Structure 1
């Protein structure tokens, strides 16, 4: 017979306080998101007057139609998708190529290379040397300026290395070698299928970083045809500069500036929000690697 543990009044009060605190945190996080989405679907007059609280007021798609009429925003959105997709693929490949050898005890010089990687996390060469390197490689004002200089993040490489060390034992590689399995076949047939959790972690981390990449584009890019979405948003919302005079005139005449701001926030956040549910299971599992032993 299972005896039911009776909670004391102090325990109930403590647990109740925790639930109340967590509910307050949840409201503080969720409400701004709900407000932004509701404001993006409300009329300009309702947004300007502050009548939007929880649900859309006088629902309309005027903000989104105005946004997508701007060719600069469409081009910036497609550029950001390209930088995010291709950049994430390159970064994940380079990270795995670096992390897996460093996780093997038989790899000569692994400790020295690991020390060099940690050194770069503590000391940075600075912006000017990095810009000069990119300039001397003739990458200024090219798509490669956003794909190569930030292709590897040392922190992500450390996480991947810890995963390979704890999840893929040396005995597995030795057994496959005895069976005549080559190194490349071992990586593609055994390592990568077992590394789905950490790959999901890397994809999400790099995708968020690449999608929100703003400073690098501001420094390295000059041509408007290469600008990502974040630079376009900066031009419209911060500097109030828009290469399309018709759109800027429309914003002034119809009072759509505030409505367009919320629509742009939703549009720029949508790809990451869509990506996360597909990698959530592997992301949580990958982040917990090494924290529980059993």
Structure 2
């Protein structure tokens, strides 16, 4: 039980610190004690409920979600973007902007940057600031996706990002998915392709999007996935894809012929990369993102608020 004098000292210290804006050093000098004593008194004020700290800002909810995501899925970092009331297009832009900002601020030790494909990553590249990073190289992590939607292909994104960074990039001159395993083996044995695939495995940071084959699928829209493929993927319990590689709800690669015909990094290759940043928006991808996190493929996740909330609530 605290004496009246002890309680008075705690309240006086808290009042000077929180209400009058004094430093701990100034309070210590006034009260004739050491700074650690003041620190302990302030801590005691919180423990006893004399002081309650409230953060009054609309960002507090997203920051809490970030902390919960980091804890639940063992992430190094999470960025949750406030998107309440946004249209789908606005959500994509906001996530692209946040991921571009995050990448720009976390590039100090990066010499090789890998990038996959997709419309959300294209938005990241579009929002990325112009800056000088001549010692960097950007590498595509998967082949091209046909002749449609060229602006979201890995080669194009690598080129556009390198242009903004004023640095070099590599090109993976091969389709993302070929017709036969034999053709894939022949292409990946070619020196130009093999060298870029090897570069991709050695990147310091990989930027990846996450797709759902069934809802809002770009691969389906541009003709890479046919109805029979989707039926087979359902049968194999595929739930999503990264770098055009399909996985199940545990994040494990599915035994589907498409996975054997992809020219790009494998899911196991991704796990070996030091920092993999997943950039995703849209609650229709919830199951896909959850599976990716279950599979431990990501180190950093940039995501919209609605999908983040659903991830945190999932058991």
> TM-score range with shorter-chain normalisation?
under 0.3
| TM-score for the superposition, normalised by structure 1 | 0.23
Report which of the two has the higher share of helix.
Answer: 1
Q: Which has the higher contact order (CA 8 A, sep 6+)?
A: 1
